[in-house]
Amino acid sequence: MRFSNINNLLWILSFFVLSLFGYMVYSNYSLDKAARYHNSVHSLELYSKEFDNFLLTQNKFINYDIINKKIEKFENNLEFLSSQNSIKLFPAKYAQLIKNIKKSFNDKEEIIEHFKSNNAQLLYSMHYLFDLTKVISKESNTTIAKNVKNVELNLLKFYINPTTDTRNITDKIAFLENLKQHNETLKYFLVHSKLTLHKIIQFHIMKTKQKENKLQKNILALDAFLTNYYEQNIYVIKIVIFFFVVTVISIILLLIFTNKKVEYMAYHDSLTKLANRTNIELYLQERIEKFNQETSKIAVLFIDLDRFKNINDTLGHHIGDALLQEVASRIQTILDPTDILARVGGDEFMIISEKRINLFSPDKLSQNILELFIQPLKVQGHTLSVTMSIGVSIAPDDEIDAAALLKFADIAMYEAKESGKNRYRFYKERLSILANDRLEIEQSLIHSLHNGEFFMMYQPKYDIKTQKTIGLEALVRWQNPKLGFVSPDKFIPVTEEMGLIIELGLFIFRQACQDFIEFEKHSPHLKSISINVSAIQFYEENFIEKISKIIEETGISISKIKIEITETHIMKNIEHSMEILQKLKTKGFEISIDDFGTGHSSLSYLKLFPINELKVDKSFIDDIPQDGSSVAIVDTVITLSKHMGYVNVAEGIETKEQNDFLLSLGCEVGQGYYFSKPLKANDLIAFLDKE
Amino acid sequence: MKKLVTSFLILSFSIICAEPIVPIPKSINYDHKKAQLGKKLFFDTRLSKNNTISCASCHNIYEGGDDNLQYSFGIDAQEGNINSPTVLNAGFNFRQFWNGGAKNLQAQAEGPVQNPVEMGNNFSNLIKTLNNTEYKNLFAKVYSNGITKNNITDAIAEYEKTLITPDAPFDKYLRGDKTAINLDAKEGYELFKSKGCIACHHGINIGGNLYNKFGVAKATHSKRLGRYEVTHNEDDKYYFKVPTLRNIAQTAPYLHDGRYNNLKDVVRFMAQYQLGRVITQEEVRKIVIFLKTLSAPVKEIQ
């Protein structure tokens, strides 16, 4: 989604929210109104009940003002409910319901009016009747009095229970009317008896009518309608509120997403969608802090396209951009999911590859990348041949610092360019310590030994056949509080120049001997400990005395110690070397030639040396079994060793393939990450115990 | 036991429990502007077709609120066919007109304007007329929609609402002034209740709150059919709105057809035709004295 689209969507959603809000307010207003209508209808209901109560009033004087007031209020409520505004507010059914109420109210009103009239008439007639009965009882004969009383009583009875038979009353009235002597009082009595009887009958009829209470029913119907309407609206309101909430949440999510997008944009290259420099630097920083130096390594590959500027200048930026995209996607195809590819500049890419040590092969990765581009790229009809130069730096080998690693990778890349492009270079391989680095290291080294900054690591040497640890190589490591972990390649030359190597060498020797005695307890197969000795130490006059002293002190058996010395060193001063080696041999030390194959050894000299072991340099092992010449060299060295009676050791075995191949060549001893990386004393003990 | 029940019932038929007549309030709430406008309209002959008749022509508010004629005269000296009832305290009546044909004062006000034998006008004409007069502005001040039928009748009704007559001697008596009426009047009031008059003539307006038959006990030979004219219900024949007895001494001639000119006659008539009972001269005299205590001057609005 494009940014502008998100903005549009936000506008639309905001509009939606506003509409919903408006609708909610409006609905609430309507509901309020509906509630008012409801109240009005409730009043109608109440008044309607009062009307019924009124119609139940019996035999007493009623001030009609009160019922009239109620009728008026009922009418006012009904008028409000039936106003044009009200009718408009509700569905058509409402109008019909109102109409029904109006009609039944008119009927009800009529009944009330008749009740009022009848009640007034009955009231004064009966009242008069009682007076007349009293008078007649006094002045008339017993027959008349008796009958009059009877009529009075039966009228009362009839009034209370209008279902009783009235024949009794009419008979008595007829009897009295037929009497000859009519006085004025009796005449009035008869008039009012008949009137009363008539009124009572009328009341009865009215009450029968009243039973079918349409008004109340119709009001209840309207009430039900409004309740239903209200509830439906509440339901709608609920739905609206639901949508409102959903929309608001969407907006919030979208805003968050947009921010993510911004963040993404800030950390990603828009052209290739790869991480950008900021992103990859942060990532490297994070990994450097978190990765386990013991088990993993991180390679930083700095890739720069060769002669990219030419493409850009001759074919245009759009081709250049397309090419970059193509390059990016091609590189992506060979990367592991854990490898991160970033575009860090115009034609610069970077890969961070973190691997477990046994799987770590930045050289292979670099080579693969270079090979990816043997096939030319087809970009918008142009066939473009692309090469690149790759610089590699490695943590923790080179440095355990993100900025330094980036810098080193950059330096290595320039080195690759200078060496002729279309190749890769490791920082470590070529770069001796820069002058300023050396100064730093020198200064740091002064107190390092005293401060206990050096520690030992031991890499197992194993019997390739049995895959058991048979020896160890003691390796010194330097962890400086200021410089961090400094590679031996860097600091050993400095210690040599400073002369510090003498002291350091003794430290190494002593430490290795002490540790070995401990290690022996954990492994029956362990036969030797190899200790590297620098040429400087070699030339020191009482070198042998010093180490002999250490051997005495530690109690290690001399035969277990292999002095490792590089081929290069020996060849620098063959005579002196020969002399020392002889001395060592005589003492009982074993001699191992390190990095064999790199020092231009003359076989004729070699023959003269008292050597026990040859170590084939890692650089040859790296390329087997693929590289024919490497295979040939390794094969030759192994054969040579056998003929000369040396133990041959292959250094830097990293894969099973190499291991197996070396086995097939008859190589006896191996060393390398394939079997074990260098281990600290504790870890080694655990390793041996496991064996 | 039987006797006890009977006497209880008889007792309960006795007419009076609480005081059946309520005094008129000393003042009422009304919209002053509307009432002022209504007053002007009430006295304005321009309401009639030929500019001769106003409401006040038949309802003299200073002389009992009617015109003291059996039947009123409308435009062109046409005689009406019913006695004009008083406009005073008319707001307290539950319905208007003798037959209850108007629900309230405003509905009533429509009637005479359009009645051919009264003002003989119609509202579209009246509105047109009034719009050419000062009323255009006057209405505009009170009603946002100017002169309309509803506004004309509303203003008149608002004015009529103010036409109340508080402080009648009898009301003073009811409020606690025992000297406000004399002994005869007091006895008259007792007779008024015990004879049964009170059954219909009670409440704030001493009448005007129900319909009753004209001639309950005897036929009255009325030409007009009363409520039947409105409902066309047989039961409503000769049922008229019971008129108020307030200011009754000033509103002769009496009854809807103005058949009696003095109170004595009409009281006697009522006793015979409505109550169907004997009444003595002395009783009539006392009742009339009581009736005369029901009069009071109209309270004029400012």
Q: Put residue B68 in one of left, alpha, beta given phi > 0 → left and psi -120 to 50 → alpha.
A: left
Cα–Cα distance list, B26 to A602, B23, B155, B175 (Å)? 143, 9, 22, 11
Contact A625, A596 (CB under 8 A): no
Residue of A69, A117, A137, A154 for testing the chain B interface, max B β-carbons within 10 Å: A117
Domain assignment present for B271: yes
A123–B contact, CB cutoff 8 A:
yes
The residue among B49, B47, B70, B56 whose CA lies nearest residue B116 is B49
| pLDDT, averaged in runs of 10, over chain A (691 residues) | 57 78 75 79 91 84 91 93 85 90 91 90 87 84 84 85 83 85 82 89 82 86 87 79 83 77 69 83 86 85 87 83 89 87 89 85 86 85 86 85 87 83 76 53 80 89 90 88 76 81 89 89 87 83 86 88 84 79 86 78 72 85 81 84 86 88 89 88 87 77
Strand order in the sheet with A348-356: A340-343, A348-356, A296-305, A388-395, A424-426
Question: 3-class DSSP state for residue B55?
Answer: helix
Quote the pLDDT of residue B14: 57
Asked if A120 and B209 come within 8 Å (Cβ–Cβ), the reply is: no
CA B257 and chain centroid, separation? 14
Using CB atoms, which residue from B14, B17, B200 is nearest to A120? B200
Are B235 and B153 within one domain? no
- Number of domains chain B is built from: 2
Å between B269 CA and nearest CA of chain A: 16
Distance from C-alpha of B118 to C-alpha of B48, rounded to nearest angstrom? 8
Asked if A153 and B6 come within 8 Å (Cβ–Cβ), the reply is: yes
Are B179 and B270 within one domain? yes
Residues of B with Cβ-Cβ distance to A59 under 8 angstroms: 9, 12-13
Helices A184-211 and A167-178: crossing angle in degrees, nearest 10, is 160
Contact B173, B180 (CB under 8 A): yes
Q: How deeply is A402 buried, as exposed, middle or buried, from its count of CB atoms within 10 A (0-12, 13-18, 19+)? A: buried
The residue among A352, A224, A329, A206 whose CA lies nearest residue A277 is A352
Domain boundary among B117, B132, B161: B161
Are B234 and B171 within one domain? yes
Asked if B13 and A188 come within 8 Å (Cβ–Cβ), the reply is: no
Query: A residues 189-248 near B, CB within 8 Å?
Result: 191-192, 195
Tell me which H or E stretch contains B213.
strand B211-213
Are B140 and B240 within one domain? no
Contact A115, A206 (CB under 8 A): yes
Spell out the residues 6+ positions from residue A27 whose beta carbon is closer than 8 angstroms to its own. Answer: A233, A236, A237, A240
The verdict on ipTM greater than 0.95 is no
Q: Return the residue of A nearest to B208 by Cα.
A: A65
Return the domain boundaries, chain A.
Answer: 3-222, 277-431, 436-613+677-690
Are B141 and B64 within one domain? yes
Q: Return the residue of B nearest to A110 by Cα.
A: B231
Domain assignment present for B8: no
Contact B274, B141 (CB under 8 A): no
Are B170 and B154 within one domain? no
Asked if B14 and A127 come within 8 Å (Cβ–Cβ), the reply is: yes
A117–B contact, CB cutoff 8 A:
yes
Reading the block at residue A395, the tokens are 């943590």
Distance from C-alpha of A354 to C-alpha of A371, rounded to nearest angstrom? 21
Distance from C-alpha of A315 to C-alpha of A309, rounded to nearest angstrom? 10
Distance from C-alpha of A442 to C-alpha of A434, rounded to nearest angstrom? 12
Asked if B278 and A160 come within 8 Å (Cβ–Cβ), the reply is: no
Residue of A63, A102, A195 for testing the chain B interface, max B β-carbons within 10 Å: A63
Residues of B with Cβ-Cβ distance to A114 under 8 angstroms: 235
With tokens 């009794």, the residue in question is A168
Q: What is the CATH number of the domain that holds B189?
A: 1.10.760.10
Å between A97 CA and nearest CA of chain B: 22
Å between B133 CA and nearest CA of chain A: 32
> pLDDT tens digit string along A343-381?
988 889 999 998 887 788 888 888 889 888 888 888 888
Residues of A with Cβ-Cβ distance to B203 under 8 angstroms: 63-65
Asked if A127 and B15 come within 8 Å (Cβ–Cβ), the reply is: yes
- For the beta carbon of residue B72, count every other beta carbon within 10 angstroms: 23
Quote the pLDDT of residue B130: 94
Residues of B with Cβ-Cβ distance to A113 under 8 angstroms: 210-211, 227
Contact A425, A633 (CB under 8 A): no
Are B36 and B122 within one domain? yes
Quote the pLDDT of residue A2: 42
Residues of B with Cβ-Cβ distance to A160 under 8 angstroms: 9
Residues of B with Cβ-Cβ distance to A156 under 8 angstroms: 6, 9-10
Please give, one letter per residue, the 3-state secondary structure of B173-204.
HHCCCCCCCCHHHHHHHHHHHHCCHHHCCCEC
Residues of A with Cβ-Cβ distance to B199 under 8 angstroms: 61, 120-121, 123-124
Domain assignment present for B122: yes
Å between A68 CA and nearest CA of chain B: 6
Asked if A60 and B13 come within 8 Å (Cβ–Cβ), the reply is: yes
Tell me which H or E stretch contains A479.
strand A468-480
**What pLDDT tens digit does each residue of chain B (302 aa) get?**
556 666 666 666 655 557 899 999 998 999 999 999 999 999 999 999 999 999 999 999 988 888 888 888 888 888 888 999 999 999 999 999 999 999 999 999 999 999 999 999 999 999 999 999 999 999 999 999 999 999 999 999 999 999 999 999 999 999 999 999 999 999 999 999 989 899 999 999 999 999 999 998 888 888 999 999 999 999 899 999 999 999 999 998 999 999 999 999 999 999 999 998 889 999 999 999 999 999 999 988 87
Cα–Cα distance list, A566 to A439, A500, A594, A647 (Å)? 26, 19, 4, 16
Using CB atoms, which residue from A63, A113, A117 is nearest to B202? A63
Active site residues of B: 118
Using CB atoms, which residue from A71, A121, A130 is nearest to B13? A130
Question: 3-class DSSP state for residue A244?
Answer: helix
β-pairing verdict for A424-426 and A388-395: parallel
Å between A116 CA and nearest CA of chain B: 6
Reading the block at residue A333, the tokens are 């195809």
Instruction: Note every long-range contact of A285-291, with CB atoms under 8 Å and residues 24 or more positions apart, other chains counting.
Output: A285/A402, A287/A352, A287/A354, A288/A395, A288/A400, A288/A401, A288/A402, A288/A405, A291/A354, A291/A395
Asked if B275 and A60 come within 8 Å (Cβ–Cβ), the reply is: no
Asked if B204 and A65 come within 8 Å (Cβ–Cβ), the reply is: yes
Residues of B with Cβ-Cβ distance to A63 under 8 angstroms: 18, 20, 22, 202-203
Using CB atoms, which residue from A60, A153, A191 is nearest to B17? A60
- For the beta carbon of residue A70, count every other beta carbon within 10 angstroms: 18
Domain assignment present for B6: no
Are B37 and B144 within one domain? yes
Q: Tell me the sheet residues that pair with A58.
A: none
Domain assignment present for B7: no
Reading the block at residue A60, the tokens are 């007493």
Give the residue ranges of DSSP H helices in chain B: 2-13, 32-42, 55-58, 105-114, 123-131, 135-142, 149-161, 169-174, 183-194, 228-231, 263-269, 281-292
Residue of A54, A60, A65 for testing the chain B interface, max B β-carbons within 10 Å: A65
Same CATH topology for A277-431 and A436-613+677-690: the answer is no
Are B202 and B156 within one domain? no
Residues of B with Cβ-Cβ distance to A125 under 8 angstroms: 276
Specify the CATH superfamily of domain A277-431.
Reverse transcriptase/Diguanylate cyclase domain (3.30.70.270)
Contact A653, A449 (CB under 8 A): no
Domain assignment present for B50: yes
Q: Which domain does B38 fall in, by range?
A: 32-161
Reading the block at residue A544, the tokens are 């042998």
Interface of B with A (CB under 8 A): 6, 9-10, 12-18, 20, 22, 94, 103, 195-196, 198-200, 202-204, 209-213, 216-217, 227, 231, 233, 235, 239, 275-278
β-pairing verdict for A454-463 and A424-426: unpaired
Give the CATH architecture of domain A436-613+677-690: Alpha-Beta Barrel (3.20)
A75–B contact, CB cutoff 8 A:
yes
Asked if A188 and B94 come within 8 Å (Cβ–Cβ), the reply is: no
Domain assignment present for B121: yes
With tokens 């030409």, the residue in question is B223
Count how many residues are written for chain A. 691
Domain boundary among B123, B142, B161: B161
Cα–Cα distance list, A203 to A654, B94, B213, B231, B234 (Å)? 118, 23, 16, 20, 16
Distance from C-alpha of B124 to C-alpha of A675, rounded to nearest angstrom? 116
Quote the pLDDT of residue A89: 79
Q: Is the pTM of this model over 0.90?
A: no
Question: 3-class DSSP state for residue A10?
Answer: helix
> pLDDT tens digit string along A561-614?
999 888 777 777 777 788 888 888 888 888 888 887 776 666 666 777 888 888
**Half-sphere exposure of A583 toward its Cβ, with a 13 Å CA cutoff?**
15
**Residue B161 identity:** K
